[in-house]
Structure 1
């Protein structure tokens, strides 16, 4: 036994293991019949009626991420009640985490995020299942959110 901990065998690709890219996500979305575009920041985006979901690779392709921006806008004064609603989701679910972000003009928005480390590669099946699960989670959160906002006295309808 040496002094160094064992390192993952990411240098030795295994059979069936891929290094995914945006083209692969596009193919998955096409199979799911989900329209997508590439934005100017190099992200692959899908647009839904009340939110936009962006797929990215961060950290030199080591991390696969999906971030959703919801078409609901709040004031800074709404943040305490909004955080209480989002905390409920974060406590009760795994995978997709939600938080607030504040624009320079003081507008508060809701963002959801899911990430997974793919530095050692993944199988095509794992990657497709993860992408599909994240699409479903973004929609599930949207459906969950409206009634919770109303109960908290916040605007429940997207703009």
Structure 2
């Protein structure tokens, strides 16, 4: 006999405390946190910091809320093995935010971090706001850690 998958909460959102996250709610949360934001050409809500940009995305079709941070340094393809070793250390030792490299068509390598939360059946406004707040803090913490680790590895990268 096959095991049944665990049941998920009703997606009807019938519980009064459950909300369906959307970009407008996220804008409200960022306003309450006094974090300025903008919308990019792809409709993502973003925030800009001195050394990185963070983009929030809410995918209705697969019910996923995510935050992707792009850090303001370019590296060469030759640097990628060292970058991957540094990021492996972070990914092995932490949870909630995962870092990886991305290679542009011109061969330059950037560092990206990402956090995701499934929102099947909705979430409470408090859960949604807490996740956004935590992800903002993690992006900054990751940047500080990354700067230190890259320096120790002899990599600074070229600023954007």
User: In which range does the TM-score fall when normalised by the shorter chain?
Assistant: over 0.9
Q: CA deviation at 1:99?
A: 0.1
Distance 1:6 1:53, change over 3 A: closer
Moved over 4 A (4+): 3-6, 156-159
Q: Whole-Å Cα distance in 1 between the matches of residues 74 and 28 of structure 2? A: 32
8 Å Cα contact 1:150/1:156 also seen in 2: no
Alignment RMSD: 1.7
8 Å Cα contact 2:74/2:157 also seen in 1: no
Q: Secondary structure at the match of 1:142?
A: helix
Give 1:126's aligned residue.
Answer: 127
Q: Secondary structure at the match of 1:42?
A: coil
Give 2:61's aligned residue.
Answer: 60
Q: Secondary structure at the match of 2:121?
A: coil
Alignment gaps of 5+ in structure 2: none
Q: CA deviation at 1:120?
A: 1.1
Give 2:8's aligned residue.
Answer: 8
Alignment gaps of 5+ in structure 1: none
Structure 1-normalised TM-score?
0.92
Q: How does 1:96-111 map to 2 (within 5 A)?
A: 96-111=97-112
Q: Whole-Å Cα distance in 1 between the matches of residues 6 and 127 of structure 2? A: 24
8 Å Cα contact 1:66/1:113 also seen in 2: yes
Q: Secondary structure at the match of 2:65?
A: strand
Q: How does 1:127-146 map to 2 (within 5 A)?
A: 127-146=128-147
